[in-house]
Amino acid sequence: MKAKIGMVSLGCAKNLVDSEIMLGMLRNEYEITADEKAADVIIINTCGFIDTAKEESINTILEMAQHKKKNCKCIIVTGCLAERYRDEILQEIPEVDAVIGTGNYSDIINAVNNALAGQKYVNTSPLKDVDYLDKERVVSTGKGFAYLKIAEGCDNCCTYCIIPSLRGRLKSRKIESIVNEARWLADNGYREIILVAQDTSRYGLDIYGKKMLAELLRKLGEIKDLLWIRVLYCYPEAIDDELINEFLENDKVCKYLDIPIQHFSDRILKMMGRRGTSKDILNVIEKVRKKIPGIILRTTMIVGFPGEKEEDFDILCNFIKNIKFDRLGVFTYSREENTPAAGFPDQVDEEVKLERYNKLMSIQKKIAVAKNKKRVGKVYPAIVEGLSEDGIFYFGRTYAEAPDVDSKVYFTSQEPLKEGSFVNVKILNSDEYDLIGEVINEFAE
């Protein structure tokens, strides 16, 4: 009888892809279960990016370790926390049987086999290549969409970020590999693919000697059964005319651009180690909005960075008020050991960070409400993601919403709808973040 494998995936979409690939490797030799109480082996793919993520990862490991008192035989920890705190995990949580780092997902079968044989197993050697991404995976995001990782690691040296230490330098996949996976996803019914990497805008620089995201989008656009191609994590200074034109001309590319900016004070941007200036950021935003009608812009900001003064924060607030991003995520600065910013003077008090976070979110809330009201009365193609608990409303997304990070659209339908299908939805009402509408007809693929 095959041992049962359970997986708990924490953190970002990039981590989720790694989890799905590991499950794809394991499913031929083991039985996969979604019930951790029934699992013989529980794998926790951890996040170690910021304090809250580390805390969630540790709490999850401890929670899963409780299952070893019952049915579970082995606990395996993988991912960023495992890469960063291998020795501490093994010493302080004896229930853990194996630790696999971010460069060793392809070794997961060895880890499981050794753990089941009663042998501790550790592998946190550096990632040599991204060939592990070529393997078929168990997609866990439902029937409508799937994430597609196009590169690993990062060449940006932001002073607050630990990712290059955990994931290494930029390592892009070959275009052929990505297109083959996208075609496989399309053949298996996934109509939306979401391209992810730590920095998608620099895709290809390491293996082709130039940025190749625009060319990749052209190739992906040729896949007949794909309807939407969404791109996340495009750094503003790397967005050029070629990429903007591809967004404009490629009908399958969602007019949705996620550009992590983090701040707008030039003093703070410099301390963060960000490339480009506030003027560069403004130029990109103005060009994108001018050239791509209907473009949805999403960004993230960090408040409370070391040395952030009131005048720096005021600059950021005024920028948000004036630009009016469609989507905005805000983080309070997390002091991460072994990053340059952790040693900077003038660390900001947690209370001040929280105050600034709340103020920025309050500003964005008013912007979001106003933008939602403007969408009332309009019709949008939408992907169906499920049926609400009340059994009345379906929920899903238009091109203007990315999964997990953005709001949802709720809508009624006179006919039953299938998860993963596309329909045309007329927006009838809006609240602070979500939209409410009705299906007026099915979407013609």
Provide the percentage of residues in the chain whose pLDDT is more than 90.
71
Rounded mean pLDDT of 89-118? Answer: 90
pLDDT confidence of residue 35: 87
Average pLDDT of the residues of the chain = 92
- CATH code at 4-123: 3.40.50.12160
Query: In this structure, which amino acid lies at residue 74?
Result: C
pLDDT confidence of residue 157: 86
Give the model's confidence band at 89: pLDDT under 50 very low, under 70 low, under 90 confident, else very high: confident
Give the model's confidence band at 126: pLDDT under 50 very low, under 70 low, under 90 confident, else very high: confident
* Cα–Cα–Cα angle for 219, 220, 226, rounded to 5 degrees: 145
Give the model's confidence band at 239: pLDDT under 50 very low, under 70 low, under 90 confident, else very high: very high
> pLDDT tens, 253-311?
999 999 999 999 999 999 999 998 999 999 999 999 999 999 999 999 999 999 999 99
pLDDT confidence of residue 283: 96
Give the model's confidence band at 36: pLDDT under 50 very low, under 70 low, under 90 confident, else very high: confident
- CATH code at 131-367: 3.80.30.20
Domain 379-442, CATH among 2.40.50.140, 3.40.1160.10, 3.30.1540.10, 3.20.20.80: 2.40.50.140
Domain residue limits, the chain: 4-123, 131-367, 379-442
pLDDT at 443 over 80: no
**Would you say 231 and 211 are in contact if contact means Cβ atoms under 8 Å apart?**
no
19, containing H or E segment: helix 13-26
- DSSP SS3 for 107: helix
Packing angle between helix 108-116 and helix 13-26, nearest 10 degrees? Answer: 60
Number of Cβ within 10 Å of residue 93's Cβ equals 15
pLDDT at 164 over 90: no
pLDDT confidence of residue 80: 87
Rounded mean pLDDT of 153-174? Answer: 90
Distance in angstroms (rounded) separating the CA atoms of residues 7 and 20 = 9
Core vs surface per residue 100-109: b (16+ CB within 10 A) or e: bbbbbbbbbe
> pLDDT tens, 361-375?
999 999 999 999 999
> pLDDT tens, 366-420?
999 999 999 999 999 999 999 988 888 999 999 999 998 999 999 999 999 999 9
